[in-house]
Structure 1
Amino acid sequence: MAAVVQRGDFILGKSLKEFEAEFAQASGVNYGVGVASGTDAIALGLQACGIIEGDEVLVPANTFIATVIGVIQAGATPILVDCDRHTALIDLNLAAKAITPKTRAILPVHLYGQMVSPKALLDFAQAHNLIIFEDAAQAHLAQREGYMAGSVGMAAAFSFYPSKNLGAFGNGGMLITSDQEVAQRVQTLRNYGAPKKYYHTEVGKNSRLDSLQAAILQVKLPHLSQWNQLRNQAAQIYDQGLKSGRDNKVVPMTNLAQEGHVYHLYVVRINEASSMTREQVQDFLKEKGIQTGIHYPIPCHLQPAYKSLGYQLGDFPQAEMLCEQILSLPMYPGIKSEDIAWVVEQISLI
């Protein structure tokens, strides 16, 4: 941070250029373009990939609303798709049924830190002639089937919100791609639509990852793989402890990526077999000093601001069910095994 201050290159400075290259390389692609947020990475990235007004983009119904906002800001229409109840990832069989002549892209969300199957995605996109644009906001350096998160499709969006596995000291995001033209267009769009100073070829916006944030992220990046491994190891301890209960009241989300799951969140379902509601479980754990979260309590199609999309209650039953049952347990690099055991022990009492 002191070096950035000394140089005075706070916008599009040396640290940003270095971090863009380093994060892209770590993610298995050629280019990174730092922007102001993960939402902007989706919106500008989709535009750069050729998505225009009138196009449709397939999006899971159970994602953070930023995914939908990014599609809308790109001028396209989000077409929501239900998820698999065991993984919470987009159901590609249902996605195939949602395709229309206007569908141009699929935007898989690597939710909770687990990638959607790259091989299945590539087969799906080829079969239906669609662009793959990944929302990898929760999946920094996640892996599956030999692919890194962000390396499967034409481009991908990441968030560096402070709570992410790789978090800044404020907001930030990045578009990564191996397509030089996509990278160059996002560089233009993020900077007022100007490929060079005072020369504006597109209607862009002001969306740049600050050099200070990039400098902080650059220092943290070399530690990320180890932090992800610690998260994965903690999840394995959780899984083992919860499975040993054998009462099926609290069910962990299924991990199909094995060591490649980076567990931004560790999510369980409080299902129908439990005598407590999820809110009662939360209150019980809170009394024991255990903080939990819900990611996310309302599916996108039931958000008041997006009634215009035309969906209603019952349209996506799996997403709706998950939003009523899911609970995020404490998860961070270095969480102690005895702390996990304490959480599991308290859960066994519900």
Structure 2
Amino acid sequence: MRLLPVEDPPPEHRLRLDEQHRLLAIVKEVFAELVREEPPPHGSTVLTAGLARAHFGQRASMEGLPLPGSAPAAVVVPAPGRGDGYWAGASSVVHDGAGGYAAGYRVRNGHDGHDQTVLARSADGERFETVAVLERERFGARWMQRPALVRTGDGWRLFVCCGAPESKRWWIETLQSPDLEGFATAASRRTFPDEAAYGVKDPVVRLVDGTWHAWICCHPLDVPGAEDRMFTGWATSPDGWDWTWRGTVLRGRPGAWDARGARLTTFLPDGRAGYDGRATAEENWFERTAVATPTGDGRFAALPDSPVVDARYLDVLALPDGGVRIYYEARLPDLSHELRTELIR
């Protein structure tokens, strides 16, 4: 499977107008597919909306834009330690089909420590119980980043993000299990392999009407020392195992706050997307979050008047009552990161 270049995709990969409309419909259908049952009442909070907005330094939401700082926040997973590189976050949270929540997220135990992918379950969307921990050594990886968790008709798929020990290459492994606990021992298959030209990581994966869709953060490796550059590619699959790249769908803007790259992280109920970006290489790990809007041909562009908030890996989950629960990775003053959630009505 060869990754399409950053430039426009060739004609055979461009979408017809009816396919463009279909993609937007798919994004909207994702939320209908994910909504299952009303979750239990919202629990205790640790950060008020006013304090959150003060922390983010600006108005954090607009009508229809569920961004961090829109509501009181609760800590889902605290930072695993103090200081730079101790991160909990990069979540993928879905309804479990039984009124609760299932989550996959990444834990980094210091930049010289080891990474883990954690699977957890919750009744209320805030208090999660760990059910499985996947260690980096299992995949021959030095690093791990954001996983993607998908509920299927007969169980679960988990897409695990792995970084190579001695290079800047990244790849994605896929596991299948009838339940979350089974991922502790499930076999894996490398579905998005590491390539010389690009590192692939941080997948957002959806299954809609029998077709799998993946939005992948791609890092060009052609310039040594500049591997932090990023753009978002889109791929589809009939079975979630063998994928076809459809093209580049989101990139940064020269001279803007997201000039160094753009990583799609989630979809909003109206078909727009949340994404991470940064202006420079020095802002690596200091990404900010904003909103992008569909532009046709399956692509997205930054929403011109979107707020830009100081958080990353936004994850939006639709609720049956029309509200949403958001998850995101928040940086603390000591540069550690924690996973937070907000319930937005």
Report the TM-score range of the alignment, normalised by the length of the smaller protein. Answer: under 0.3
Which one has a larger percent strand, Structure 1 or Structure 2?
A: 2
For normalisation by structure 2, the TM-score amounts to: 0.25
Greater gyration radius = 1
For normalisation by structure 1, the TM-score amounts to: 0.25
